[in-house]
Every structure is written in structure tokens, then in C-alpha cells.
Structure 1
Amino acid sequence: MEEAEQALIRVIGSKGLLAVLQAVKPASNKQASMVTITKDGMNIRWEDESKSLQSSIFLNSEVFAEFQVPWVRKTFGLHFHTFTDTLTVFASTSTSDLTIRYPGPNEELTFELVEAISEQQLCTYARINTLDLDLSPEISEYWQEPSSYFLAPGAMLREAIEDLEWAACSGAQTQGSVTVHLKRSPPSITLSASDAAELSIKLPVGDLAGFMCTEAEVYHKYKYKLMRAAFSNLPSAKEAATQMSTKVTVDSSGIMKVMHMVPLFGGGASQGNPLGPSGPNLSQGFSRRGSVHFFLLPQDVVIEYDGEDDV
């Protein structure tokens, strides 16, 4: 295969890239994801086996030290855990640049790291077999306006969801639910659970970067395990936590969209909050952050992807 037909992606500080990818933690080690590479960047999409939760990670081309893509668009599947495990090996053994290429001779994704040791060059190489994969249509296609939203520090929301676990779940069971209650006047946001016990957490509105409630009240329930997946796997390092912003949007039918902007430290992440009242602000460092999205269906709502839906 001609080298010109390959995408070449060079990563500086693969630990930062790994931190963004670890915001998504599929329940099964065999869970597959769909990767799309375009000239604009790389998108990794995954869906929960219940099909009630979908996530995607978008990495802008400017995140990378080098991003050469000779074609308009290519899509392939791979096992998500295999991808992150491979990056973990490289991130733990060296701080040198990591080069990723696609496709290899057998349509695989390849990794190469070259480092100098005692005046000699050591090359570490790995490859991941890709898959043919079909995912369900995106939940976002069923989005209905008007929508309400709030913007908050990601660490605040992660802590709130983790605090609700004992009230939402009994023992090892994670089948409880979390109620999200937005009120327009006076502005308030309350997260509550009452399955194993009762607990309500009112978010401090003064600490929010933005808030809009399109109805007098917005009230929806979500499965706790899906809320935990969407909020509890964010980077916990102090530097990342203080600069991580999250926007939560709820449409008129209760579909929730969660967008985390996670800084890629070690790769030149800029300072400041990249989220304004209307969404990402490119002038404040969006290109140096990974964008992690989750779409959650409300409890007891199932989309029939053959064209009929309950939303």
C-alpha cells in the first residue's frame, strides 16, 4: 500500500489523549466502537448495549502535533478497550511522540514509538485489527426543541452523581434512577434519588457558567448507571478537574446531551473556560481540548430504530 494513502497522526503526550478516552468506559471489554477520521479530526463513537446511552469523543486535528489525512473520510470499527490498553502501554513506558497510521497492509491501525537509548534507537510497534461495524442511528437524530441547559464545572457534577449512588442503588445493584429537576424562577437545579434511600442535591446556581430553562419546570428521570457512565469517569487530576467544563442540555422529550470539554495537558492546552452560554468558544482553546459527548434516553423510553419511536 502506498504511504500516501495512509493517515499519519503524531501525538505529543499520549497521557493527555488517554485521559480523554478514559472518560468513556464501556461495561464490556469486547465492546466495539466506530472510528471516523476526516481532515478535521478523529471521532470515536460508542453505544451502550442497552442502546439507551451513546457517546462520542471528538479530537480536533489541532490537538495533534501532526495530522495528515489524504482522503475525505474513512470509518472503521475496533474494540475500544484494546485501543485504550495499547495507548496505556505506550504512555507508561515513554514520553516520546507516538505515531499512529491507518490503514496498514491489512486495514489495521498501527502505532509506532521511536526513542533514543544509549545512542541507539529503540522502536516499539503495535497494531490493532479493525472491524466491520454497524451501530444504531444516533440518538441526536431524535432531538426535539426547545431545550434547556446549564453549564457547570465537570468535577462538581461528577461529585454530585457519585454522592447519589447510595440513595439510588442497593448494594451492588445499579438499577436505581436519578431525577433531574430544573426550575426557571427562581433558577434552580436539583438532582435526587430515592430508590434505596432519599437524597437531594441542589447545585449552587452561582457557580454555573450558564443556565436556561425553557419551561417553568423541567423534570425527567434517568437510570443511575447511565448517569454514572456519563459523569463519573472524568479525569480526577486536580489540574484537569479545575479546567474541565460540562454542558448539560435536555430536550423537550427528556433526551439528555452531556458535553465535557477535557483539557489535554502535556499537549499545549490553553487556559480558560471554552464554554460560553451558547456552547464552545473556539477562541478559548477548544482545539487543545477533547470534546466528549453523551446522549442519554430518559428512564422507560426506548427508541425503535426501524422508524417507530416512543420519544
Structure 2
Amino acid sequence: MNSPSSSAEEAPDLVCQLDNVQGMVDALTTVRWKRQQDAVMELSEHGVVLIVEETGCLQAKVYLQRELFTRYEYNGQGRPRFGVSLGLFVDCLNTFSVPGQSSILEIRYPGPDMQLLLKSVDSLDACIYAEIRTRIPDTVSWDYNFEPAGSTPLTFTVKSAALKEAIDDLEWPGSSIQINLQPVPPIVTFRGEGHGDLQIDLMYYVNTDLLVAFHCDRQVSYKYVLNMTFEHYIHRTTSSLLIVLVLTLMLLGTNTSSFELQLLTFQAA
């Protein structure tokens, strides 16, 4: 007979159940911008975070809060991370998603060989079961911190629909974009160059339905060459989810800059 202590040691880090599999598929698809896409999953008592990165300059995160799950039991120590093929994970989730029908999916980690285990639990007559091999994440700086010590990151939160509309209006493909932030009055300015010049201003307190949050203590200006990866990322957002895009502008050096993309995902009402 196993003692209570040994049973606790054998408990998986996470056992959770989800009744909206298609919503999870939609959320993860927004950050799958190429066929062979690797990701890192991070588990905690607050939920699941999936992180993807492109060429060391673009990072996207999908947050799946524990409230999205019908069952969420977390027994891990700290915040365990593991690597997984995003394409394989999404394809497996699609197997459990039945159009027009609610299906309950159980996700468990780790399995006997550190697998990610998926199982349907809503039927007594049949069961779909899948195992996904995981890997130890590379020692890479998923969490960038390029700001000088003691400084506050410059961030603003804008709804993805508004950002997509700005991209369409500015005709950015193949050209550049300049992002300006100033604290007084609090405003974010997008300026497109290439096919003429066009400027879009989002004023905090005035456009609160579009510009959800704004944190800036000094005036800054960053210029980027927009590539197809970023455009594809924005255009993959779906109406079935409320997706808020957070752009964190980070100073890398004197003349270079980068930004971090984070997806905060919630079920639509």
C-alpha cells in the first residue's frame, strides 16, 4: 500500500479539464505563424502560459487562466516549463473538438515519460487519447529584460481589432513603422512610411475602448521594419475570443529596439 507521502510525490504537476476545446484551438492558432513552430509551456497555480518566439526579436504569449477550465488541479513546484511542437499540439486539440458539440478534454502533465497527456472524458462509450512528446526547453532568454536596472518598462495595451485596423490603414507591408509614446498628454502614435506618410494617434483617456492601458514615464520613439510574420500574427486573431494585445517596448541599445507581443486570452461573453 502506498503511503500518503508517496502518493503525493507521484501526483502530476497539472490535471485540468476544459469544455471549450475550440476556443483553445483558436487562441493557439493566433500564434502559429509557420508550419514547424515550437513553443514552451509554463504551468502555475494561476493557469497555463504558452510562449513562442521568432528570430530572437518577436515573442508571443497566450495566457489561459485557470478560470477557463472546469477543473484545475496544480501540484507542481514553482513554474515548470517544457517544450512542445505547437503544430502537433493544435492538431491533437482539433481531434478532440467536435463542431456544434461541447466536448470535455482532460490535460495532464507529466506522463510516465514526461509526455503531455490528452484524453476525452465526456463519453462512457468511447475515449480519445493522445500523448505528445515534450522536450527540455533550450536555455534561451524567453523573458527578456533589456531595460536598465531600476527603470520601468514602457507598455501599452491595445485591442487586436484596433491594431489590425491601424495596420490596414497604414499600408505597412514592405515598409517601416514608427511608434511614438509620450506621457503628457498620454498618447501612442503610429506612423507609417513607404507609400506616403500616414499617422494614427491613440490618446489614453480618450480612446479607452481601444487603448486599454498605458504606462510611460518618458517620451520615446522606436522604428521597425514590419515583416510578414507580425502582419500574419495580427490577422490570425478571431472574433470568437476577446484578445488583447500588449506591446512592451524595450530599449536594446543606442539605435536598436524590439518589442514583445503578449496575448491575454479570455472567453467571449
Q: Same fold (TM over 0.5)?
A: yes
Paired AA for residue 236 in structure 1? S
Residue 70 of structure 1 pairs with residue 75 of structure 2: yes
Preserved CA contact (<8 Å) 2:16 2:108: yes
Corresponding residue for residue 17 of structure 1: 24
> d(CA) in 1 for partners of 2:186 and 2:67?
37
Q: What is the Cα deviation at residue 96 of structure 1? A: 1.9
Corresponding residue for residue 221 of structure 1: 223
Paired AA for residue 51 in structure 1? G
Preserved CA contact (<8 Å) 2:51 2:59: yes
Range that drifts further, 137-146 or 4-13: 137-146
> d(CA) in 1 for partners of 2:104 and 2:191?
45
| CA gap 1:9/1:31 in 2 versus in 1, 3 angstroms | same
Q: What is the Cα deviation at residue 135 of structure 1? A: 4.4
Q: What is the Cα deviation at residue 139 of structure 1? A: 4.9
> d(CA) in 1 for partners of 2:156 and 2:76?
38
Corresponding residue for residue 198 of structure 1: 196
Preserved CA contact (<8 Å) 1:180 1:192: yes
Residue 112 of structure 1 pairs with residue 119 of structure 2: yes
**TM-score where L is the length of structure 2:** 0.77
Count of aligned pairs between the two proteins: 248
Q: What is the Cα deviation at residue 80 of structure 1? A: 0.8
| CA gap 1:32/1:263 in 2 versus in 1, 3 angstroms | same
Preserved CA contact (<8 Å) 1:33 1:45: yes
Paired AA for residue 182 in structure 1? L
> d(CA) in 1 for partners of 2:245 and 2:24?
18
Query: Deviations 1:151-176 (Å, cap 9, x if unpaired)?
Result: 33321012212444x4432xxxxxx4
**TM-score where L is the length of structure 1:** 0.68
Q: Helix, strand or coil for the counterpart of 1:245?
A: strand
Q: CA RMSD in A?
A: 2.9
Question: What's the % identity of the aligned pairs?
Answer: 22
| CA gap 1:42/1:109 in 2 versus in 1, 3 angstroms | same
Question: Could you tell me which of 18, 39, 47 is aligned with 2:45?
Answer: 39
Corresponding residue for residue 235 of structure 1: 238
Corresponding residue for residue 143 of structure 1: 147
| CA gap 1:224/1:92 in 2 versus in 1, 3 angstroms | farther
Q: Helix, strand or coil for the counterpart of 1:158?
A: helix
Corresponding residue for residue 189 of structure 1: 188
Extract unaligned runs of 5+ from structure 1.
Answer: 170-175, 270-311
> d(CA) in 2 for partners of 1:213 and 1:39?
30
Q: Helix, strand or coil for the counterpart of 2:94?
A: helix
Q: What is the Cα deviation at residue 101 of structure 1? A: 1.4
Q: Helix, strand or coil for the counterpart of 2:190?
A: strand
Corresponding residue for residue 261 of structure 1: 264
Q: Helix, strand or coil for the counterpart of 1:207?
A: coil
Q: What is the Cα deviation at residue 210 of structure 1? A: 4.2
> d(CA) in 2 for partners of 1:71 and 1:139?
20
Preserved CA contact (<8 Å) 1:147 1:214: no
Q: Helix, strand or coil for the counterpart of 2:102?
A: coil
Q: What is the Cα deviation at residue 10 of structure 1? A: 0.7
Preserved CA contact (<8 Å) 1:22 1:84: yes
Q: Helix, strand or coil for the counterpart of 1:141?
A: coil
Question: Could you tell me which of 97, 101, 105 is aligned with 1:98?
Answer: 105
Please show how residues 297-308 of structure 1 align to structure 2 within 5 Å: none
Paired AA for residue 177 in structure 1? S
Q: What is the Cα deviation at residue 199 of structure 1? A: 4.1
Preserved CA contact (<8 Å) 1:36 1:75: yes
Q: Helix, strand or coil for the counterpart of 2:112?
A: coil
Corresponding residue for residue 162 of structure 2: 156
> d(CA) in 2 for partners of 1:234 and 1:151?
15
Preserved CA contact (<8 Å) 2:159 2:244: yes
Query: Deviations 1:210-257 (Å, cap 9, x if unpaired)?
Result: 445433x421112312542553332234xx45xx43443424554434
Paired AA for residue 127 in structure 2? C
| CA gap 1:199/1:8 in 2 versus in 1, 3 angstroms | same
Q: What is the Cα deviation at residue 204 of structure 1? A: 4.0
> d(CA) in 2 for partners of 1:188 and 1:37?
35
